[in-house]
Structure 1
Amino acid sequence: MGAAMSKTIKDQTVEQLGGGSSVLVRQRREHQEMDRLMDQYLILDDLHQREHVLKQVVQLVFSHAFAEETVLWPAVRASVPDGEELTARVEEEHQQINDLVADIERLPPGEPGREEKVQRAFALIRQDIRDEEDLLLPRLQDAVDTARLRKLGTTWAAVRQTAPTHPHPVIPRRPPGNALLGVPLSVYDRVRDALGIGSSASRRGR
């Protein structure tokens, strides 16, 4: 698409990415918010404030990843020649983040080893952002037209509104299984978020 073959979406203008409703612009905006929140967490000293920011990171990362896996990665696999390989790599990163955050949510703040898991999760999230913005999303940009990017953006935003906000070991990484299991778990997550029940310690496994 245009002369910008497979150029990272990080430095492109909103117009180059297909306009404000394009899925590429929506993705980048949320990636920037993740980066901002992680940076904020790292400079805070107050434990309560840190926990509040960490909760925001988790909610954003998981709803974002669910929308990617439900809407975006199937489009990449359908339109990009090595889409299967590219999305498998990112799905593996998502799984590692899922497992780490599940561990973090089981440990009380201040518990030895918890902070190290937080740092590892943040490093994985940043790696995931780079893989998506530098490798995967430019390939989608090359493969589909602006109208398709905007349509994907609208669908992505709708799914994003109803996505789970915490890690769940039972959710598969691919449709249709993730959508079927994700909707009831999403309702559960959002009730927990509203009531301020942050821990997953009481969540049953499989």
Structure 2
Amino acid sequence: MPRTLTDQTVEQLGGSGSILVRQRREHEEIDRLMSRYLDAEEDLRRRERALKQVVQLVFSHAFAEETVLWPVVRATVPDGEELTARVEEEHQQINDLVADIERLPAGAPEREDKVRRVFSLIREDVRDEEDLLLPRLQEVTGTARLRTLGTTWAAVRRTAPTHPHPVVPRRPPGNALLGVPLSVYDRVRDALGMGGSASRRRR
């Protein structure tokens, strides 16, 4: 039975550059940012800043997974197609909910409900990846390959889109072809402070 990533050491996961360590590290950062949002109940500005960081990290992280990592899982893990399809469906649900969130004004009750649903889906997605999918990849992949995948994944993540785009396919080559121009668009929006709630965009 493959072991969850949660209870393995960095060395067991292939070292600090391994895709497994990089994935776990970013999952922990996403969880920290979600907790920051939930803890700042009376501070709308702080909550919005934390939510923006969650969105940017989640979408660049998922895009790199879908572009670099899941094709390898499908090619090497016996039930890789089923496992990646499950995670891709979770990613699509997150994509759709965040697109709705970004159209609603900050503080709206409907928006808050969607944020909590997104956070729940993100946590479910992390468990599926760390408990099921990535341990299966670990079983069939050597340390050197895990580190190479980590380097490639990190490079793609740094230039990935940072917001939801319903038109982008979940799989290569479509996502990679559309991802480049959308990444530029997203990062310009982020730099100008245009990514976020409807109320902020109107201002």
Describe the SS at the equivalent of 2:136: helix
Matched, 1:37 2:33: yes
Distance 1:200 1:78, change over 3 A: farther
Give how far 1:16 is off: 0.3
Q: How many angstroms apart in 1 are the aligned matches of 2:65 and 2:8?
A: 20
Matched, 1:58 2:48: no
Which residue does the alignment assign to 1:125? 122
1:69-108 equivalence runs, <5 A: 69-108=66-105
Q: Name which of 16, 19, 30 aligns with 1:23.
A: 19
Which residue does the alignment assign to 1:10? 6
Distance 1:126 1:159, change over 3 A: same
Q: How many angstroms apart in 2 are the aligned matches of 1:26 and 1:153?
A: 7
Q: How many angstroms apart in 2 are the aligned matches of 1:131 and 1:9?
A: 11
Q: How many angstroms apart in 1 are the aligned matches of 2:175 and 2:197?
A: 19
Give how far 1:199 is off: 3.8
Consecutive unaligned residues in structure 2, runs of 5 or more = 199-203
Which residue does the alignment assign to 2:165? 168
Compute the TM-score of the two structures, normalised by the length of structure 1: 0.94
Q: How many angstroms apart in 1 are the aligned matches of 2:69 and 2:83?
A: 12
Q: How many angstroms apart in 2 are the aligned matches of 1:21 and 1:92?
A: 28
Compute the TM-score of the two structures, normalised by the length of structure 2: 0.95
Identity of aligned residues (%): 81
Q: How many angstroms apart in 2 are the aligned matches of 1:40 and 1:25?
A: 23
Describe the SS at the equivalent of 2:109: coil
Runs of 4+ in structure 1 over 6 Å off: none
Matched, 1:142 2:142: no
Which residue does the alignment assign to 1:204? none
Describe the SS at the equivalent of 1:122: helix
Q: What letter is aligned with 1:78?
A: A
Q: How many pairs align? A: 197
Q: What letter is aligned with 1:164?
A: P
8 Å Cα contact 1:102/1:200 also seen in 2: no
Structure with the larger helix share: 2
Q: How many angstroms apart in 2 are the aligned matches of 1:91 and 1:10?
A: 21
Q: Name which of 144, 154, 157 aligns with 1:157.
A: 154
Consecutive unaligned residues in structure 1, runs of 5 or more = 202-206
Distance 1:7 1:123, change over 3 A: same
Q: How many angstroms apart in 2 are the aligned matches of 1:200 and 1:108?
A: 5
Describe the SS at the equivalent of 1:38: helix
Describe the SS at the equivalent of 1:113: helix
